[in-house]
Amino acid sequence: MTEEIVLSVKGIEKNFTGTKALRGVEFSLRRGEIHALVGENGAGKTTLMNIISGVFKPDAGEIFVDGKRVEINSPHEAQKLNISFVHQEIALCDDVTVAENIFMPAINESKSFTVNFKKLYSEAVEILKPLANIRPDMPVSELSMSNHQIVEIARALSLNCKVLILDEPTSALSESESVALFKILHDLKNKGIGIIYISHRMGEVFSECDRVTVLRDGNYLGTYNINDIDRKEIVNKMVGRELDDTYPPKKKRNEISGEVLFEVKDFTSNRFKNISFKLFKGEVLGIAGLVGSGRSEMAQAICGIRPVKKGKAYYMGKELKLNSPGESIKKGVVYLTEDRKIDGLFLDLSIVKNISAMDIPKISGKLIISSKLEENQANNYVKIFDIKCRGIQQSVRSLSGGNQQKVLFSKILTVNPKIIFMDEPTRGIDVGAKAEIYKLIRKLTESGVGVILISSELPEVIGMSDRVMVMHEGEKTGELVEENINEKQIIHMASGITK
Amino acid sequence: MVDIDENPKMNPRKNIFSTAGQALNNFPEINLIFIIGVVWIILSFLSKNWNTWGNIRAIMMSFSIEGIVVIAMTIMLIVGGFDLSVGSVMALTMIISGKLFLLGVNPWIASLIAIIIAGCIGIVIGFFVTRVGLNFLITTLAIMVVTRGACYVLTKGTPLSLFELPASFKFIGQGRLSGVPFVIILFFIIVVFSDFMLRKSSVLRKVIYTGSNERAAILSGINASRVKVIVCILTSSLAGIAGILYMAKFGGATAQFGTGLEITAISAAIIGGASLSGGKGTVLGAVLGVAFLQIITGAMVMLNVNPYWQDFIRGLILLLAVTLDHIRQTRRRSA
Compute chain A's Rg from CA coordinates.
Answer: 24
| pLDDT of B275 above 50 | yes
Mutate to test the interface with B, among A51, A216, A346 (most CBs of B within 10 A): A346
- What does the angle CA A411 – CA A414 – CA A415 come to, to the nearest 5 degrees? 110
pLDDT digits (tens, 9 = 90+) for A186-234: 988 998 899 999 887 778 888 889 999 998 878 898 899 988 888 878 8
Determine contact, residues B4/A400, Cβ cutoff 8 Å.
Answer: yes
Residues 6+ apart with CB under 8 A from B27: none
Alpha carbon A19 to its chain centroid, in Å, reads 25
pLDDT for the residue numbered B13: 41
Q: Return the minimum-mean-pLDDT range out of A169-183, A345-359, B321-335.
A: B321-335
CB contact under 8 A, B215 and A41: no
Per-residue DSSP letter, A162: S
| pLDDT of B17 above 80 | no
Q: How many helices (H) and strands (E) does chain A have?
A: 18, 20
Residues 6+ apart with CB under 8 A from B133: none
CB neighbour class for B164 (10 Å; exposed up to 12, middle 13-18, buried from 19): exposed
Helix axes B283-302 and B307-334, enclosed angle (nearest 10) = 150
Residues 6+ apart with CB under 8 A from B5: A16, A19, A21, A42, A47
Confidence of residue B5 (pLDDT cuts 50, 70, 90): very low
pLDDT digits (tens, 9 = 90+) for B112-144: 999 999 999 999 999 999 999 999 999 999 999
Nearest to A358 among B201, B213, B221 (CB): B221
pLDDT for the residue numbered A457: 79
A16 — contact with chain B (CB < 8 Å)? yes
pLDDT digits (tens, 9 = 90+) for B49-74: 888 888 888 888 888 999 999 999 99
B14 — contact with chain A (CB < 8 Å)? no
User: SS3 for A365?
Assistant: coil
A450 — contact with chain B (CB < 8 Å)? no
CB neighbour class for B11 (10 Å; exposed up to 12, middle 13-18, buried from 19): middle
pLDDT for the residue numbered B315: 85
Dihedral, A66, A70, A74, A76 alpha carbons, nearest 10: -40
- What does the angle CA A66 – CA A67 – CA A72 come to, to the nearest 5 degrees? 75
Rounded to whole angstroms, the maximal C-alpha distance in chain A is 73
CB contact under 8 A, B4 and A399: yes
What average pLDDT score do residues A83-92 get?
Answer: 78
CB contact under 8 A, B335 and A427: no
pLDDT for the residue numbered A242: 57
Burial B305-325 (b: 16+ CB within 10 A, else e): eeeeeeeeebeebbeebbebb
Residue A277 CB coordination number (10 Å):
17
| pLDDT of B10 above 50 | no
Those of residues 243-302 in B touching chain A at CB distance below 8 A are 279-280
Determine contact, residues B233/B126, Cβ cutoff 8 Å.
Answer: yes
Confidence of residue B23 (pLDDT cuts 50, 70, 90): very low
Phi, psi of A161 (to 5 degrees): -75, 150
What average pLDDT score do residues A279-292 get?
Answer: 85
User: Which chain A residues touch B209 with a CB distance below 8 Å?
Assistant: 346, 349, 353, 357
**Element at A223 (helix H, strand E):** strand A219-225
pLDDT for the residue numbered A102: 85
pLDDT for the residue numbered B12: 40
User: Which chain B residues touch A328 with a CB distance below 8 Å?
Assistant: 221
- What does the angle CA A400 – CA B323 – CA B231 come to, to the nearest 5 degrees? 75
pLDDT digits (tens, 9 = 90+) for A352-393: 999 999 988 888 877 888 888 899 999 999 988 888 888 888
Q: Return the minimum-mean-pLDDT range out of A80-94, B65-79, B236-250.
A: A80-94
| pLDDT of B32 above 50 | yes
**Element at A348 (helix H, strand E):** none
CB neighbour class for A178 (10 Å; exposed up to 12, middle 13-18, buried from 19): buried
Determine contact, residues B237/B117, Cβ cutoff 8 Å.
Answer: no
pLDDT digits (tens, 9 = 90+) for A409-431: 999 999 999 999 999 898 877 77
pLDDT for the residue numbered B195: 93
Nearest one of A88, A49, A84 to A170, comparing CA atoms: A88
- For residue A197, the cross-strand partners are A36, A166
pLDDT for the residue numbered A335: 93
B203 — contact with chain A (CB < 8 Å)? yes
Residue A259 CB coordination number (10 Å):
10
Nearest one of A5, A10, A55, A70 to A220, comparing CA atoms: A10
pLDDT for the residue numbered B2: 35
C-alpha distances in Å from residue A95, one per residue of A66, A140, A158, A204: 38, 6, 20, 33
CB contact under 8 A, B202 and A361: yes
CB contact under 8 A, B219 and A337: yes
Q: How many whole angstroms separate alpha carbon A88 and alpha carbon A167?
A: 5
Nearest one of B122, B118, B90, B138 to B265, comparing CA atoms: B90
B141 — contact with chain A (CB < 8 Å)? no
Which residue of chain B has the CA closest to A398?
B4
| pLDDT of B270 above 80 | yes
| pLDDT of A107 above 80 | no
B304 — contact with chain A (CB < 8 Å)? no
B221 — contact with chain A (CB < 8 Å)? yes
- For residue B317, the cross-strand partners are none
pLDDT digits (tens, 9 = 90+) for A8-40: 999 888 887 556 778 889 999 998 899 999 887
pLDDT digits (tens, 9 = 90+) for B293-307: 988 888 888 888 888
B307 — contact with chain A (CB < 8 Å)? no
| Residue B86 or residue A84, greater confidence | B86
| Residue B276 or residue B112, greater confidence | B112
Q: How many whole angstroms separate alpha carbon A437 and alpha carbon A441?
A: 6
User: Which chain A residues touch B280 with a CB distance below 8 Å?
Assistant: 348
User: SS3 for A61?
Assistant: strand
CB contact under 8 A, A344 and B335: no
- Per cent of chain A over pLDDT 90 is 19
pLDDT digits (tens, 9 = 90+) for A236-266: 787 776 555 578 887 776 677 778 889 999 9
Q: How many whole angstroms separate alpha carbon B286 and alpha carbon A233?
A: 57
- Per cent of chain A over pLDDT 70 is 95
B78 — contact with chain A (CB < 8 Å)? no
C-alpha distances in Å from residue A218, one per residue of A158, A163, B16: 33, 22, 30
Size of interface A-B (CB pairs under 8 A): 133
B219 — contact with chain A (CB < 8 Å)? yes
Q: How many whole angstroms separate alpha carbon B292 and alpha carbon B32?
A: 8
Dihedral, A446, A450, A455, A460 alpha carbons, nearest 10: 20
CB contact under 8 A, A345 and B216: yes
Q: How many whole angstroms separate alpha carbon A473 and alpha carbon A167?
A: 28
B164 — contact with chain A (CB < 8 Å)? no
Pairing verdict, β A475-481 and A318-320? unpaired
A352 — contact with chain B (CB < 8 Å)? no
Interface confidence, given as ipTM, is 0.81
Determine contact, residues A132/A180, Cβ cutoff 8 Å.
Answer: yes
Nearest CA-CA distance, residue B281 and chain A, Å: 12
B222 — contact with chain A (CB < 8 Å)? yes
Please list the helix, strand and coil fractions of chain A in percent, rounded to the nearest 5, in that order: 40, 25, 35
